[in-house]
């Protein structure tokens, strides 16, 4: 046995301490600290980061397409954008949706699953007012929806789903169709409360009205085609075909836009504009032989020559802006 050797005095001191019950306390051996990691069971990780990014990009495209299409139909600018994407359980994702929202449950074919798209009632009522020829300049008042409101609201939601269908058909061959519209979010239940769900929050700005839309994608609803949403963009880039181009043209081909003919333009101060009166000559600093320019909204597209068709003014296209003829 090895160790330090006690002197006789030290041994005697220990014996005396033992008799009096004063034995020296042994130092507690240091315990190894346990490593603990917090786990948030309300935030599952079923969707991969690549799948989440891919779905986010498809919704960005959906927002652009739906904004253009519905702005033309409602004749009021509609702007949509994706705000956030979060993985939650179905119960938590459902709770995060604004309470005054209307839920649209839609079928996803050919895989036979269902998802949920919700929109705040302010957006739905504003769209209904515009479809009926009214105005929302003074804001939208909350009211109970009539049978006519419900029919027009369903029409608006179907238009939204039609734009999302165009995007998802190209990505994964999916077709979306509206099943039911429920004005009570708490009753719009489709899957178990613990189902992993990807929640996308979007903002829609219609005139002076701002509203939140939510798209809830349960994992079970997209699992059969999840690999399609995990494909890398660079791997798909070379697979663009005439069919893809046709799909894009079909998505925006019916959108109406303002086309105008412009003779020329000149910059003037406000004071000079206010000083103009009948008989004044305004020099445009453009040759008379240069014809006119056709604009699609604010984009110059063609050159032309003014004339008339019957008793109405008309323009004959003579070439493209930047050269060439047509």
**For the segment 250-274, what is each residue's pLDDT rounded down to a tens digit?**
766 777 778 888 888 888 888 888 8
**Is 176 within 8 Å of 107 (Cβ atoms)?**
yes
Confidence tier at 26 by pLDDT (50, 70, 90): low
Q: Please give the pLDDT value at position 202.
A: 96
- CA–CA separation, 101 and 121 (whole Å): 6
Q: Is the pLDDT of residue 36 over 70?
A: no
User: Per DSSP, which regions of 207-250 are E strands?
Assistant: 209-218
Query: At 296, is the secondary structure helix, strand, or coil?
Result: strand
pLDDT digits over 288-306, tens only?
777 888 888 778 888 888 8
Average pLDDT of the chain is: 83
**Is 204 within 8 Å of 62 (Cβ atoms)?**
no
Q: Please give the pLDDT value at position 8.
A: 77
Q: Both tokens of residue 241? A: 């075909």
- CA–CA separation, 90 and 96 (whole Å): 10
- CA–CA separation, 282 and 2 (whole Å): 114
Q: Which CATH architecture is the domain 259-320 placed in?
A: Roll (2.30)
- For the chain, the farthest-separated pair of C-alpha atoms sits apart, in whole angstroms, at 133
List, in sequence order, the alpha helices (H) in 238-313.
242-252, 270-275
Residue ranges per structural domain of the chain: 49-252, 259-320
- How many CB atoms lie under 10 A from the CB of residue 88? 20
Q: Is the pLDDT of residue 234 over 50?
A: no
Q: Is the pLDDT of residue 38 over 70?
A: no
Residues paired with residue 300 on neighbouring β-strands, in sequence order: 295
Does the pTM surpass 0.85? The reply is no
CATH 2.60.40.10 for domain 49-252, yes or no, is no
Report the half-sphere exposure of 227 (CA within 13 A, side-chain side): 1
Q: Is the pLDDT of residue 68 over 60?
A: yes
Q: Both tokens of residue 209? A: 């009205």
Q: Both tokens of residue 38? A: 């917090």
């Amino acid at each position: 046995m090895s160790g330090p050797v006690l002197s006789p005095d030290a041994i005697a001191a220990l014996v005396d301490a033992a008799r009096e019950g004063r034995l020296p306390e042994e130092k507690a051996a240091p315990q190894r600290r346990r490593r603990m990691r917090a786990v948030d069971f309300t935030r599952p990780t079923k969707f991969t980061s690549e799948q989440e990014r891919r779905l986010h990009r498809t919704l960005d495209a959906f927002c652009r397409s739906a904004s253009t299409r519905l702005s033309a139909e409602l004749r009021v600018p509609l702007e949509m954008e994706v705000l956030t994407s979060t993985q939650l359980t179905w119960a938590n994702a459902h709770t995060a949706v604004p309470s005054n929202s209307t839920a649209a449950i839609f079928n996803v074919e050919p895989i036979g699953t269902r998802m949920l798209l919700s929109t705040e009632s302010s957006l739905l009522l504003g769209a209904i007012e515009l479809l009926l020829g009214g105005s929302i300049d003074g804001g939208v008042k909350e009211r109970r929806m009539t049978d006519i409101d419900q029919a027009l609201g369903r029409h608006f939601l179907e238009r939204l789903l039609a734009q999302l269908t165009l995007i998802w058909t190209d990505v994964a061959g999916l077709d979306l169709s509206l099943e039911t519209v429920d004005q009570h979010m708490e009753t719009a239940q489709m899957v178990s409360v613990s189902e992993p769900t990807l929640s996308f929050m979007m903002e829609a700005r219609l005139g002076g009205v701002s509203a939140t839309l939510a798209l809830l994608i349960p994992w079970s609803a997209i699992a059969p085609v999840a690999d399609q949403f995990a494909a890398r963009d660079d791997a798909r880039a070379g697979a663009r075909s005439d069919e893809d181009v046709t799909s894009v043209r079909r998505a925006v081909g019916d959108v109406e836009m303002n086309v105008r003919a412009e003779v020329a333009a000149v910059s003037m101060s406000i004071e000079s504009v206010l000083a103009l009166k009948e008989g004044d000559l305004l020099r445009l600093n453009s040759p008379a032989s240069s014809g006119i320019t056709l604009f699609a909204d604010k984009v110059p597209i063609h050159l032309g020559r003014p004339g008339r068709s019957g008793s109405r003014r008309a323009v004959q296209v003579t070439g493209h802006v930047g050269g060439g003829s047509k």
